[in-house]
């Protein structure tokens, strides 16, 4: 009997999984497309972050290079804060943590004791660093406390990296120890401002012509002088970097 010839349908077998090759190519193309969309939409934010490094929300901790590098970046941030969207700027707490980041464990422990009584605020007039008075002085006194001088040292490093004029302003409360009369309180607040100025210029080498000092006594309280806690808040030193030339 003659042998049967195999038909074409008998020799060609379709792979039931062959569609997966085309599907995987499609998924790869879609993934590439969405990655491109995301990268294009975030390009502006990324370029800003590259320009300013740490000083943005979502940053992963303080800068891990030299103190000089940290302070220079913070100074650049201050100079550019009017041109960067507010939502992208580092918040005030993170700015404060970057400013007072110490390598020494003991200094960091010291900073944790006074953290709530140090404030850093960005205002229209510039940057305000506010220190509760007890951090620098004993109540009723105008001699700097040596154990807290590393805090002033960090501030001095930051001031050295900027070119802005600086005002050092002293404030007392209305208690008898801080000033039995207005003249005493005004003199005490001015002496404290001058003590901080002397540290910056004599010990840290900052230029005298960048500074002005003022003593306001108890004339500018930030809270009512009705409790010991409030009076302690009103006794303060403010170091202000003005964005405009001082008169």
* Residue 142: inside a domain: yes
Token pair for 158 = 């930051």
pLDDT (0 to 100) of residue 59: 41
Which residues form the domain of 195?
A: 100-242
* Residue 5: inside a domain: no
User: Whose CA is closest to 101, among 60, 155, 180?
Assistant: 155
* Residue 106: inside a domain: yes
* Residue 58: inside a domain: no
Lowest mean pLDDT segment, chosen from 100-104, 151-155, 198-202, 238-242: 100-104
* Residue 12: inside a domain: no
* Residue 113: inside a domain: yes
* Residue 234: inside a domain: yes
Where residue 151 sits, what CATH number does that domain have? 3.30.1330.60
Rounded mean pLDDT of 210-218?
A: 94
**pTM for this one?**
0.66
Share of the chain above pLDDT 90, in %: 26
18 Cβ contact partners less than 8 Å away, ≥ 6 residues apart: none
Average pLDDT over all residues of the chain = 75
Q: In what order do the strands lie in the sheet with 236-242?
A: 118-123, 126-132, 236-242, 166-171, 211-215
Count of domains observed in the chain: 1
Rounded mean pLDDT of 57-71?
A: 45
Rounded mean pLDDT of 115-130?
A: 84
Confidence of residue 45 (pLDDT cuts 50, 70, 90): very low
* Residue 90: inside a domain: no
Confidence of residue 3 (pLDDT cuts 50, 70, 90): low
d(CA 23, CA 158): 57
Higher pLDDT, 67 or 117: 117
pLDDT (0 to 100) of residue 237: 96
> What does DSSP say about strands 236-242 and 211-215: parallel, antiparallel, or unpaired?
unpaired
């Amino acid at each position: 009997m003659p042998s049967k010839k195999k038909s074409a349908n008998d020799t060609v077998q379709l792979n039931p999984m062959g569609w997966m090759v085309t599907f995987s190519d499609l998924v790869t193309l879609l993934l590439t497309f969405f990655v491109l969309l995301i990268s294009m939409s975030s390009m502006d934010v990324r370029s800003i972050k590259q320009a300013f490094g740490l000083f943005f929300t979502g940053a992963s901790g303080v800068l891990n290079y030299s103190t000089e590098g940290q302070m220079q970046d913070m100074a650049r941030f201050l100079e550019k804060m009017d041109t960067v969207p507010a939502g992208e700027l580092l918040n005030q707490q993170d700015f404060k943590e970057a400013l007072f980041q110490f390598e020494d464990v003991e200094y960091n422990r010291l900073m944790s004791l006074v953290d709530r009584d140090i404030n850093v605020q960005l205002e229209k007039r510039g940057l305000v660093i506010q220190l509760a008075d007890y951090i620098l002085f004993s109540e009723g006194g105008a001699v700097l406390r040596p154990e807290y001088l590393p805090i002033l040292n960090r501030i001095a490093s930051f001031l050295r990296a900027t070119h802005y004029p600086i005002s050092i302003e002293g404030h007392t409360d209305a208690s008898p120890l801080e000033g039995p009369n207005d003249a005493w309180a005004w003199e005490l607040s001015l002496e404290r401002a001058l003590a901080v100025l002397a540290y910056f210029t004599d010990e840290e080498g900052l230029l005298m012509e960048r500074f002005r000092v003022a003593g306001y006594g108890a004339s500018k309280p930030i809270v009512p002088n009705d409790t010991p806690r409030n009076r302690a808040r009103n006794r303060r030193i403010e170091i202000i970097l003005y964005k405009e030339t001082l008169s």
